[in-house]
Amino acid sequence: GNSVTQMEGPVTLSEEAFLTINCTYTATGYPSLFWYVQYPGEGLQLLLKATKADDKGSNKGFEATYRKETTSFHLEKGSVQVSDSAVYFCALSGGSGYALNFGKGTSLLVTP
């Protein structure tokens, strides 16, 4: 079945550092891929998405490219801010069933 694997956290970075959060997936067919972010005390917010191979999703300085050859969708940001501290979830859709397949989440802490 479909599944998503994210790098284990927590990830701690200094402000203005470069961020990479790894995400790889296993899926049949042609899934869509998503990154969600959850700020403390809130629900999940869609951060960005990509619906086909080689698509790049981007939002708020974050980017991720759908790599079919490596089955990956790594999240990157060139210069993180303290306000980016949150939990980031990689997810895919398009398999059997109705729901998204979520990774376990990666906690990011950005220090001043």
Partner 1 sequence: ETGVTQTPRHLVMGMTNKKSLKCEQHLGHNAMYWYKQSAKKPLELMFVYSLEERVENNSVPSRFSPECPNSSHLFLHLHTLQPEDSALYLCASSQNNNYFYEQYFGPGTRLTVT
Interaction of residue 1 with partner 1, rule CB under 8 A: no
Query: What are the beta bridge partners of residue 76?
Result: 20, 63
Q: In the Cβ-directed half-sphere of 19, how many Cα atoms lie within 13 Å? A: 31
* Given 36, 62, 66, 88, the residue binding partner 1 (CB under 8 A): 36
Interaction of residue 105 with partner 1, rule CB under 8 A: yes
Select the span of 12-20, 60-68, 75-83, 86-94 touching partner 1 (CB under 8 A).
86-94
Interaction of residue 66 with partner 1, rule CB under 8 A: no
Q: Tell me how far apart the terminal alpha carbons of the chain are, to the nearest angstrom.
A: 41
* Given 5, 22, 26, 32, the residue binding partner 1 (CB under 8 A): 32
Interaction of residue 62 with partner 1, rule CB under 8 A: no
Which residues would be at the binding site for partner 1 (CB under 8 A)?
A: 32, 34, 36, 42-46, 49, 89, 93-94, 97-100, 102-105
